[in-house]
Each structure stands twice: as structure tokens, then as C-alpha cells.
Amino acid sequence: MKKIFATLLAASLLLIGTQANAQLVPGAGYLYASEKASNSDNAIAHNGFYLGASYNVPIVAGLGVAPGIYVDMLFRGKSSGEGNSSSNYYLAKNYREFAVNVPINVNYKFTFNRNAALMFYAGPTFQVGVISKSTYSGELNVFGVKLIEGSETINYYDKDSAGSLARNRFNMSVGGGIGFQAGDLLFTVGYDRSLLNYAKSDNYTTSRNYIKAGINFAF
């Protein structure tokens, strides 16, 4: 996986360096991820955002290839509590994830006029996880006195910390999307599906579906 990632990244940089008509396309948007483990019937939803840029290299007519680099941030929070004026407890879990993605998309653009175009794209995305952590916190109060308070953070990239919940840093997904360009603005909606197991376990597998919608600037 690491060798494939390095080879494709080097090839993309070489392609960019040989094209004078390449177009820088920075952008940002909303990111949704639905995660499903093979040993569970329920999917876990994450919300967040992404930002970065691609470099569209024209090949022929409306056909092009666009390597890029983006950062993703995903979050998920859950809390619960119960009690009355004399005693109560509160528990919370906050998950956060930061990853670097390198998509290499092939695209085709249908140009209607000078200021409007419709684009379709598809290709693989290579992902390197940087942060994947959950912080658990809680407290117990009795008659207004805080008896117990504490928190613990689990690092899912550290097997000693996460145990059977440990995750792999490297993954790969494949997907595609559609974009509409109006002047210098490019609006995109896309979908990706992970190909590799996120879980570092032999007992179950974990996969993800991504949906994203963003605004890009085609300079």
C-alpha cells in the first residue's frame, strides 16, 4: 500500500511538472462518513469537513486528470445523563479524526459556453490517518458535591491504547462525482467507498462510505 501510494504520488507530480496548461483548483466542503463493522448491524455516522486543492491537467478535448491533496476532519459526539437534584451523573464521548487524502481523478468536462460547464470525475483516493482518538469523560454528583470526575483518551492508531478497536492508518477508496462550473466557481458532489479494512483485527472488518459536497475555485 505504501509503495503504491508513493509511486502514484511521484507520477502525479511528474505529470504536473510537464504541463503548462494545468489548472489549480482549491476547494473546501462538507464531509459525511458512514462506518460499518462486519460484527455489527448498526452504522456509525460522522460529520466534518475537508479542504485542499487539486491540479487539473488537460489531456485531450474535455478529458483531464486531477491529482490533489486534501485534509479531512471528522467528528462524532455522544452524551448521556440521569438523576435528580440530590444525585446525578453525566457521561460523554467525543471522537475526532484527521487524515490526509491524495485523490487521482480522471475527469471529463462538457462545456456549454464560456461560463458554464458540467464535469464528471472518478478515481482512487489514498488516505493516511494522522489522528483518530476518542475522549471519554464523566462525573458523579451527590447533593451538589462532585464525588467522581475523570476522563480518558483512546488513540486508535496505538494498539496498546485501543486494544481490539485499533485501526490502520493507511487506506484506499474509489469513487466519483459530478460538478457544475459557473465562471470561476465549481460546485461538486461526490461519493467514495473504502476498499481496505480500517480495523486492525482478524476478527472483523470495518468499511466506510463517504459523501461530500463542496465549492471549488477554478483559477
CATH code of the domain in which 207 resides: 2.40.160.20
> Does residue 85 lie within any of the structural domains?
no
Instruction: Read off the pLDDT of residues 95-112 as tens digits, 9 standing for 90 and up.
Output: 999 999 999 999 999 999
Predicted confidence band at 140 (pLDDT cuts at 50, 70, 90)? Answer: confident
Q: pLDDT: is 26 or 148 the higher one?
A: 26
Instruction: Read off the pLDDT of residues 161-177 as tens digits, 9 standing for 90 and up.
Output: 888 889 999 999 999 99
E strands present in the chain? 23-37, 43-60, 63-83, 87-113, 116-142, 145-155, 170-182, 185-194, 206-217
Enter the DSSP assignment of 21: T
Percent of the chain with pLDDT over 90: 63
> Does residue 200 lie within any of the structural domains?
yes
> Does residue 147 lie within any of the structural domains?
no
Could you count the other beta carbons within 10 Å of the beta carbon of residue 89? Answer: 15
How far is C-alpha 47 from the geometric centre of its chain's CA atoms? 9
> Does residue 151 lie within any of the structural domains?
no
- Average pLDDT for residues 140-169, to the nearest whole number? 84
Report d(CA 212, CA 34) in Å as an integer: 12
Number of domains in the chain: 1
> Does residue 190 lie within any of the structural domains?
yes
> Does residue 18 lie within any of the structural domains?
yes
Structural domain range at position 198: 2-79+95-129+171-217
Q: pLDDT: is 82 or 214 the higher one?
A: 214
> Does residue 142 lie within any of the structural domains?
no
- Provide the pairing of β-strand 170-182 with 185-194: antiparallel
